[in-house]
């Protein structure tokens, strides 16, 4: 019972959450009759002891525990003499380059002083009328040439000196570390297994570790009229154990949010006099949708991503290796190709006409919110972000601006108008988009502007159809759209007029 035997139990599966991971190990072991103690080494030092779960098939688990110990890092290479020799070489090289650098600096200072003295003497000789200009000019040219050469040598010597200083500092740190060996923490799991007779048993070990995280990332490739979206998981971990050839699962579960109910506060209702004037304010409201909505033929419910939604688990393709180095490691989660509608759009106040691809997500799993690498015909062209898109939901991606179309946007608020015997005050706003096309082919795109939407009856907002450019289409969210076509080397102005009407007692707008 006192003898501890090694049990090879590699990591076979990992389930990574937002900021932690569940690790599962498995092993087959041949047991003798009686009680034996086994040790599983290579376990992450940050393992949460209370989460250890052990299940044994074919034997009885008598006890299980996590053990830790501090172990000094031995210098088993015998390289102490080599480190000392390298350190001495670095010191000699650094000393030599410092002496040479300082000598050249002194020589440069002498040359500069000589040049100044020669110029002063030449000025004095010219004043007395006994100057030898040819000889003085030759001497000055020689000093200038020597100064230029010294400055070039000093620049090279300064770079060599900085490099020698870095080498010396690095070797000094290595020698100091060798003189004071560090320690590292070894962690293992001890299992006491009891078998009534010699038998084959299978051991399943699971535990929780922090220092592991994952985030989704997408890669969208536009090929003509089709859009391919590949979803990847970027995994980081520094747990102290490597995950090599494991079955990796990525979960959207967020246990860090906790399960505490919200605090209830007293809601007091009081009466007050109706104010004589109404205070309102304007705000920029994002139209909150998942993707662009669904086609009418699709009637499934759109799940959420976090709170109030359905927890998703995504499986990585094949076996995955994620070393404990804290660096990002990519693994593919799947890809889907779907037909796309490709057009161009100018969404004010942006000054760019963007190539837009609209598609319906054809994958079985949702596209989680995250960054998207955009790939065009010639390779990667940029990066954008994608919101949550459910299966069957429509979404859009922008694939860069059209440099041939230039846009200048101007906005002006006209004077306020008040009609006689009316309590309404009217203010007109004029927005002009001045478009120019410098390309050699016609440019067709959709221009999108936005007008405010009122939430109270005392404020009304109307689109001035007669004053706006023909073809404007207004929706319930206040978006105004035009279909624009620009001929090569042409210009056009799209004008939007909208009127804000409010009662005289309304303040703030």
- Of 203, 217, 209, the C-alpha closest to 243 is 209
DSSP string of 214-251, one letter each residue: EEEEEEEEEETTEEEEEEEEEEEE-SSS-EEEEEEEEE
pTM beyond 0.85, yes or no: no
Residue 60 falls inside a structural domain: yes
Q: What is the dihedral of CA 467, 469, 471, 474, to 10 degrees?
A: -60
323 and 201, same structural domain?
Answer: no
Please report whether residue 477 resides in a domain: yes
Domain check: are 225 and 195 in the same one?
no
pLDDT of residue 387: 85
Examine the domain organization and report whether 62 and 140 are in the same domain.
no
Residue 371 shares a structural domain with residue 235: yes
Q: Clarify whether residues 362 and 234 are in a common domain.
A: yes
Domain identity same for 220 and 298: yes
Q: What local confidence, expressed as pLDDT, does residue 259 receive?
A: 62
- Per-residue pLDDT tens, the chain, 509 aa: give them: 556 788 999 999 999 988 899 999 999 999 988 899 999 999 999 999 999 999 999 999 999 999 988 766 555 455 667 888 888 899 999 999 999 999 999 999 999 998 888 888 888 877 777 767 778 788 888 888 889 999 999 999 999 999 999 999 988 888 777 666 556 678 999 999 999 898 899 999 999 999 999 999 999 999 888 899 999 999 999 999 999 999 999 998 877 666 667 788 888 888 888 776 767 766 666 554 545 555 544 444 433 334 335 778 889 989 999 999 989 999 999 888 899 988 899 988 888 888 889 999 888 888 888 889 999 877 888 888 888 888 888 999 988 888 889 999 999 988 888 876 678 888 899 999 999 998 888 889 999 998 888 888 888 888 888 889 898 888 888 899 999 999 998 999 999 999 888 888 777 66
Whether residue 37 contacts residue 63, with contact meaning beta carbons closer than 8 Å, is answered with no
Range of the domain at 55: 4-73+183-209
Q: What is the DSSP letter of 58?
A: S
Q: Is residue 270 part of a domain?
A: no
Q: Are residues 218 and 363 in the same domain?
A: yes
Question: What's the confidence (pLDDT) of residue 305?
Answer: 37
Query: Which pLDDT does position 163 carry in this prediction?
Result: 92
Co-location of 497 and 427 in the same domain: yes
How many independent structural domains does the chain possess? 4
Residue 329 sits in the same domain as residue 218: yes
DSSP for 361-380, please give it. --SSS-B-SEEEEEEETTEE
Q: For 400, phi and psi rounded to 5 degrees?
A: 95, 160
CA atoms within 13 A on the CB side of 403: 0
Quick one: 238 and 324 in the same domain?
yes
pLDDT given at position 416: 83
CA distance 40 to 209: 16
Q: Are residues 63 and 203 in the same domain?
A: yes
Residues 243 and 147 in one domain: no
Q: Which residues contact 424 (CB under 8 A, 6 or more apart)?
A: 418, 501, 502, 503, 504
Strands 243-251 and 11-16, by their bridges, are: parallel
């Amino acid at each position: 019972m006192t003898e501890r035997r090694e049990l090879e139990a590699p990591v076979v599966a990992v389930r990574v959450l937002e900021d932690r991971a569940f690790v599962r190990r498995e092993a087959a072991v041949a047991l003798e009759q009686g009680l034996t103690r086994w040790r599983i080494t290579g376990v992450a030092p940050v393992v949460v002891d209370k989460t250890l779960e052990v299940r044994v098939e074919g034997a009885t688990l008598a006890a299980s525990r996590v053990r830790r110990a501090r172990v000094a890092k031995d210098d088993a290479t015998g390289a102490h003499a080599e480190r000392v020799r390298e350190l001495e070489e670095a010191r000699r090289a650094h000393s030599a380059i410092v002496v040479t650098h300082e000598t050249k600096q002194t020589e440069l200072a002498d040359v500069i002083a000589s040049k100044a003295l020669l110029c002063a003497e030449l000025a004095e000789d010219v004043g007395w009328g006994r100057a030898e200009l040819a000889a003085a000019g030759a001497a000055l040219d020689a000093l200038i040439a020597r100064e230029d050469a010294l400055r070039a040598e000093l620049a090279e010597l300064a770079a060599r000196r900085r490099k020698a200083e870095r080498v010396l500092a690095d070797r000094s740190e290595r020698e100091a570390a060798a003189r004071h060996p560090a320690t590292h923490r070894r962690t293992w799991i001890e299992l006491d297994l009891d078998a009534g007779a010699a038998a084959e048993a299978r051991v399943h070990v699971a535990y929780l570790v922090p220092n592991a995280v994952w985030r989704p990332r997408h890669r969208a490739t536009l090929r003509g009229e089709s859009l391919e979206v590949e979803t990847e998981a970027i995994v980081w971990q520094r747990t102290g154990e490597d995950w090599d050839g494991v079955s990796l699962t990525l979960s959207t579960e967020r246990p860090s949010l906790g399960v505490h109910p919200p605090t209830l506060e007293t809601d007091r209702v009081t009466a007050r006099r109706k104010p004589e004037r109404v205070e309102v304010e304007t705000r920029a409201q994002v139209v909150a949708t998942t993707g662009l909505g669904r086609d009418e033929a699709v009637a499934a419910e759109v799940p959420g991503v976090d709170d109030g939604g359905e927890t998703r688990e995504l499986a990585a393709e094949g076996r995955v290796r994620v070393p404990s180095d804290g660096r990002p490691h990519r693994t593919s989660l799947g890809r889907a190709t779907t037909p796309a509608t490709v057009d161009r759009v100018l969404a004010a106040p942006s000054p760019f006409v963007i190539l837009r691809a609209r598609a319906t997500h054809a994958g079985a799993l949702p596209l989680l919110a995250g960054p998207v690498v955009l790939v065009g015909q010639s390779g990667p062209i940029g990066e954008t972000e994608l919101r949550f898109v459910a299966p069957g939901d429509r979404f859009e991606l922008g694939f860069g601006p059209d440099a041939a179309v230039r846009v200048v946007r101007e906005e002006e608020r006209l004077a306020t108008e008040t009609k006689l015997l009316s309590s309404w005050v009217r203010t007109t706003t004029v927005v002009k988009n001045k478009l120019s096309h410098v390309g050699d082919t016609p440019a067709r795109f959709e221009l999108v502007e936005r007008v405010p939407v009122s939430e109270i009856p005392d404020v009304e907002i109307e689109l001035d159809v007669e004053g706006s450019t023909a073809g404007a289409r207004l929706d319930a969210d206040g978006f105004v759209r035009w279909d624009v076509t620009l001929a090569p080397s042409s210009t056009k102005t799209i004008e939007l007029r909208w009127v804000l009407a409010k009662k005289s007692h309304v303040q703030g707008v």
